């Protein structure tokens, strides 16, 4: 009996050894010393913040390309059109009143319009949390003035998501009641500023800023005591028409299943306040290290493993959208899309993005690396990163789920810098993603169907994605068929 189990055991090992042995070697190599942190340092400390369309972003594209080439991995650029160029040059504010004069610290929301050189001046009016009721109570005072919107402190992913959702009504009201500008109280403490899209995304056509929480609450206290405040905003932005940007693509060709693709990606661009370290430089470095180590070990996957450093993600996932459009005829070949974009907290599972059938298979794939776990996979769809257009095209897709670590506090803010990246987690995450990519590239059992539009609609309904898609400017494109299957 003993002996037969022994024999069976070795039989099993030899059946799966084609992938597992190599996969274990890859895991070990990725956990050993690699240049992953040195790459991250170059990207964040030398190149810095990388707003799509800026010189720094173009430098980052060349840098990414060079990194793959130095690792002797075939790589190229794929140009795509970005609908609008936007970057902040400077943003200054000053408060004037009989009682108080000071310069609050501010930053433009993405795609905020700029102001004339002498700035936009108006009364600052407190509009509470920005609900219709609160705007109504202002009795027409919002019109032509700058409205201050109170926020709660954001401390987790759910609250971050709510921040995006709440903006839909706040901004619609600001327009309806004809405010001259929206002034958001920063949802982070200690003077921390951040930048991301408004609910109008690239179509935003009014000045919108974030004011340091400390300054904004000082304004609120004064306004609530009946003090009149005049606010002057000087917003200098680079705001130009459509232009071309580039994704960076690299690939390890497959062998007998070369026509089937496992697509891995992380976005290269960032908003420019910090240096885009946890969002998402660390995972860009991970992609480069995975390609480098697979190639250095001379591993030959059965399926092609393709890596994309996405561009134009922050302004609205334009690089990944363009990829699905430009490669429309080849989308059936993509057997899995895996996105890593939630910082350097430890990966403790994956979002299966509404594809429930992926869960059990994924759990099995992760079993052999349980010592890097535990892993818990989550059914809910993520729609705010580069998996979205693949989900909307019906392609099976995963997003790394991380212990949030310090992701939320530094999200899109000045403090998202190299020193916030957890190096130990990043190495382990690389090993987890490397193992998974390798397994998916070799397992004959990987065969999930591409969803039809009706299947995708079911996911949208089941997980009530409509409002989130509206907040992220995705709903219109899905409804009119210009974005998605």
Pick the piece of the chain touching Zn ion (CB under 5 A) from 6-14, 47-55, 279-287, 362-370.
279-287
Question: Using alpha carbons only, what angle is made at residue 244 by residues 241 and 248, rounded to the nearest 5 degrees?
Answer: 145
Which H helix or E strand runs over 482? none
Q: Residue 225 burial by CB count (10 A; 0-12/13-18/19+): exposed, middle or buried?
A: exposed
The count of chain residues that interact with Zn ion, using the rule CB under 5 A, is 3
Contact present, 397 and 353 (Cβ < 8 Å):
yes
Q: Which is nearer to Zn ion, 199 or 320 (CB)?
A: 320
Q: Does 311 bind Zn ion (CB under 5 A)?
A: no
Q: Which is nearer to Zn ion, 208 or 399 (CB)?
A: 399
Q: Which is nearer to Zn ion, 18 or 161 (CB)?
A: 161
Compute the distance between CA of residue 155 and CA of residue 406 in angstroms, rounded to an integer: 9
At its nearest, how many Å lie between Zn ion and the CB of residue 411? 8
At its nearest, how many Å lie between Zn ion and the CB of residue 269? 9
At its nearest, how many Å lie between Zn ion and the CB of residue 194? 13
Residue 344: which of 438, 437, 280 has the closest Cα? 280
Q: Does 410 bind Zn ion (CB under 5 A)?
A: no
Beta-carbon neighbour count of residue 308 at 10 Å? 25
Residue 437: which of 241, 270, 299 has the closest Cα? 299
Q: Does 279 bind Zn ion (CB under 5 A)?
A: yes
Residue 211: which of 118, 129, 93 has the closest Cα? 93
Q: Does 304 bind Zn ion (CB under 5 A)?
A: no
Q: Which is nearer to Zn ion, 86 or 271 (CB)?
A: 271
Q: Does 280 bind Zn ion (CB under 5 A)?
A: yes
Contact present, 59 and 475 (Cβ < 8 Å):
no
At its nearest, how many Å lie between Zn ion and the CB of residue 399? 11
At its nearest, how many Å lie between Zn ion and the CB of residue 286? 13
Q: Does 341 bind Zn ion (CB under 5 A)?
A: yes
Pick the piece of the chain touching Zn ion (CB under 5 A) from 121-129, 182-190, 198-206, 272-280.
272-280
Cβ-based neighbours of 388, under 8 Å, separated by 6 or more:
317, 320, 382, 472, 474
At its nearest, how many Å lie between Zn ion and the CB of residue 350? 16
Question: Using alpha carbons only, what angle is made at residue 76 by residues 36 and 474, rounded to the nearest 5 degrees?
Answer: 85
At its nearest, how many Å lie between Zn ion and the CB of residue 56? 16
At its nearest, how many Å lie between Zn ion and the CB of residue 91? 22
One character per residue 355-394, x = contact with Zn ion (rule: CB under 5 A): ----------------------------------------
Q: What is the CA 466 to chain-centroid distance, rounded?
A: 19
* Termini Cα distance of the chain: 55
Pick the piece of the chain touching Zn ion (CB under 5 A) from 1-9, 257-265, 277-285, 420-428.
277-285
Strand duo 146-149 + 397-402: pairing: unpaired
Q: Which is nearer to Zn ion, 125 or 399 (CB)?
A: 399
Contact present, 175 and 169 (Cβ < 8 Å):
no
At its nearest, how many Å lie between Zn ion and the CB of residue 227? 40
Q: Which is nearer to Zn ion, 40 or 366 (CB)?
A: 40
Pick the piece of the chain touching Zn ion (CB under 5 A) from 83-91, 209-217, 275-283, 440-448.
275-283
Q: Which residues bind Zn ion (CB under 5 A)?
A: 279-280, 341
């Amino acid at each position: 009996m003993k002996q037969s189990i022994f024999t069976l055991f070795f039989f099993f090992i030899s059946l799966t050894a084609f992938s597992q042995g190599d996969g274990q070697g890859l895991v070990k190599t990725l956990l050993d010393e690699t240049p992953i942190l040195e790459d991250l340092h170059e990207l964040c400390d030398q190149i810095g913040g990388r707003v799509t369309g800026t010189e720094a972003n173009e430098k980052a594209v060349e840098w990414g390309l060079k990194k793959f080439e130095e690792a002797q991995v075939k790589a190229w650029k794929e140009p795509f059109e970005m609908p609008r160029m936007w970057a902040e040059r400077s943003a200054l504010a000053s408060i004037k009143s009989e009682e108080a004069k000071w310069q609050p610290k501010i930053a433009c929301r993405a795609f905020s319009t700029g102001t004339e050189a002498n700035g936009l001046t108006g009364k600052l009016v407190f509009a509470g949390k920005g609900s219709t009721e609160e705007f109504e109570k202002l009795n027409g005072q919002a019109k032509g003035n700058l409205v201050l919107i109170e926020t709660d402190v954001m401390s987790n992913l759910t609250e971050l998501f709510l921040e995006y959702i709440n903006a839909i009504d706040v901004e619609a009201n600001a327009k309806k009641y004809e405010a001259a500008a929206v002034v958001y109280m920063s949802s982070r403490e200690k003077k921390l500023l951040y930048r991301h899209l408004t609910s109008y995304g690239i179509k935003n056509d009014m000045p919108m800023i974030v004011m340091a929480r400390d300054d904004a609450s000082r304004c609120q206290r004064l306004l609530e005591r009946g003090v009149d405040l005049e606010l002057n905003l000087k917003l200098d932005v680079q705001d130009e028409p459509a232009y071309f940007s580039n994704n960076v693509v690299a690939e390890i060709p497959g062998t007998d299943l070369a026509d089937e693709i496992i697509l891995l990606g992380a976005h290269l661009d960032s908003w420019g306040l910090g240096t885009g370290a946890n969002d998402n430089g660390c995972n860009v470095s991970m992609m480069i290290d995975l390609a480098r180590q697979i190639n250095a070990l001379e591993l030959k996957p059965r399926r092609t493993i393709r890596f994309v450093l996405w561009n134009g993600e922050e302004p609205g996932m334009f690089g990944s959208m363009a990829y699905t459009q430009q490669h429309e005829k080849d989308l059936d070949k993509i057997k899995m899309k895996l996105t890593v974009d939630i910082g350097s907290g430890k990966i403790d599972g994956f979002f299966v993005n509404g594809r429930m059938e992926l869960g059990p298979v994924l759990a099995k794939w992760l079993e052999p690396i349980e010592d890097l776990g535990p892993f818990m996979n989550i059914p809910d769809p993520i729609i705010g990163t580069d998996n979205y257009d693949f989900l909307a095209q019906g392609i099976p897709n995963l997003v790394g789920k991380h212990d949030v670590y310090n992701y939320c506090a530094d999200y899109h803010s000045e403090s998202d810098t190299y020193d916030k990246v957890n190096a130990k987690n990043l190495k382990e995450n690389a090993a987890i993603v490397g193992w998974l990519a390798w397994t998916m590239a070799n397992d004959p059992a990987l065969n999930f169907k591409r969803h039809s539009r009706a299947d995708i609609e079911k996911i949208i309904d089941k997980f009530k994605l409509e409002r989130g898609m509206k907040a992220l400017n995705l709903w219109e494109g899905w409804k009119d068929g210009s974005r998605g299957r």
